[in-house]
Structure 1
């Protein structure tokens, strides 16, 4: 959809401030609205606050001047409406998909039993709560239970490594660094469960990957996760370490037959999400917007 046809698609909020045409923008999440403070950056304070100012100017411009907005979940749509007082009709929900090839893969050497987390180590991911939970779980367990963290190494994983040492959890937590897609499937499948302790997200793709790979899902009881995963997750309060521990114990206590049934049900469930379906819905919205924006419409 080009400007000359009636509009322009922007797959991210970084619409140039000088752009004067009609456009449709995709807003994937509002994490930077929620995640504030120097713990969420590697920049010195003056540059960080300058970056945040620029972010808000560009983000607000994209939201307010767009003809239509695409969001990956109803939760993000609701956040946008509340923040910017938008008409619900302006925002269309197009659910994302996940890479189904991840459900296979080669084994990674990891002691069992273990839980797994994959993703970046930004503060909103709440790895602090997860690490405290695995330490608390092991203080009450007769046998060691481990946590594998698959996250590309950077300043944020360095902070997590320090946290592991400070909390005395080094005997239970292993940071694997970056794990390629061809190995993620086995990492998920051989785990007790994938733990997703985030305070905020726009969708929740890793949880779908984990379910498709054949493991249990333990997730924060935030609105977006309940929307995306339905009854296919064990939910907990991400702000309460004991609540995370309870969910972990529930996953550990699931019997073999019950686990197989739950995983089988979840694998069927995740098939409702696909990139092909999202692409088709997105193109339809682009075409509708094009027709609405044609001269004389």
Structure 2
């Protein structure tokens, strides 16, 4: 039996990691419903698992949930424990797999509270010590893990992320007028998607945008809920009438608002993968983003890349995105995004889990 931590998939307001776990579970279940799998959550999943897959709900507050899950693992003795979105539980009675999302806390601890940075460092270091296999969401993440913890590259498999093609596509723009009315959006705006905190860089982005904007009839729209450190500064900057803070909104609305923008801007300071970049390319947006290895891995030659610390570069990039974006560049983005699917992510993940299960049987 494979025991999976599905808590992120059961959260009502999903962002990157939560969507990854949600879509991964659905795709894996669709591909191999015959596997004996228990998905443990703190509330019921909003989709029905097929075949031999079961959703076991442990109705316990999030604080201490993993300790209670450990008791279930002790009682059931699964062959494999898989934590796709968070740390492995305190008690791991079997072989285990953990997904490594990014190491921003390791390379840039100043972007986190001391408590959070220490916790993530402990969790990731422990995973490198006890997990049978590790999954990395990007090749850059794999290299970061190897460099930070000096582990064998053969223990890590890259399983790139994806996005919901049914929601994020060129047809999303059909709903833009309804979204303009509902959220009071102007005719012309740039959009940024991501949790609002220091790591995602919205404060610097807003300052650069307002310096560049001048008297132009272009606003900046931020989609994403409050994150950790740095939100107060971002929120204060959004009091400018040309900055629109929408908070967390459902995917269908986010896709429509993205599709109605003139450009997507992404000033993140550190990224493990960058799902919003894929979503922006999929709806047909020109893109400006931080020049980070993981984003180059995802975006290829489609985005305009910027040294995120250089305000002058951002201002030049805003000019370029308004004057140099071509239909050919946008078409390349749509084509590139089309190659990233949750089915592919699930297939690669299942190969790792099944290889461990097969070794257990021998």
TM-score between the two structures when normalised by the length of structure 1: 0.86
Distance 2:318 2:349 in 1: 37
User: What do residues 151-185 of structure 1 show as CA deviations (whole Å, max 9, x unaligned)?
Assistant: 225775443121345xxxx1421112222211122
> For this pair of structures, how many residues does the alignment match?
278
**Which blocks of at least 5 consecutive residues in structure 2 are unaligned?**
4-76
User: What do residues 100-142 of structure 1 show as CA deviations (whole Å, max 9, x unaligned)?
Assistant: 2133262222213211001111211111221111111123xx5
Distance 2:141 2:118 in 1: 21
Number of the residue aligned with 2:130: 65
Number of the residue aligned with 1:44: none
Q: CA 1:261–1:54 in 2, change beyond 3 Å: closer, same or farther?
A: closer
**Which blocks of at least 5 consecutive residues in structure 1 are unaligned?**
42-47
Number of the residue aligned with 1:28: 101
Distance 2:97 2:226 in 1: 35
Q: Per the alignment, in what secondary structure is the counterpart of residue 309 of structure 2? A: coil
Deviation of the 1:290 alpha carbon: 1.7
Contact 1:134/1:145 (CA < 8 Å) preserved in 2?
no
Alignment of 1:1-297 (within 5 A): 1-2=1-2, 6-37=79-110, 40-41=112-113, 48-49=114-115, 51-100=116-165, 101-103=167-169, 104=172, 106-107=175-176, 108-109=179-180, 110-139=185-214, 143-153=216-226, 157-164=231-238, 170-254=240-324, 258=326, 260-295=327-362
Q: Per the alignment, in what secondary structure is the counterpart of residue 134 of structure 2? A: strand
Alignment RMSD, CA only? 2.2
Distance 1:180 1:20 in 2: 38
Distance 1:216 1:32 in 2: 30
The structure, 1 or 2, with the larger RCO (C-alpha pairs under 8 Å, 6+ apart) is 1
Contact 1:102/1:209 (CA < 8 Å) preserved in 2?
yes
Q: CA 1:60–1:153 in 2, change beyond 3 Å: closer, same or farther?
A: closer
TM-score between the two structures when normalised by the length of structure 2: 0.71
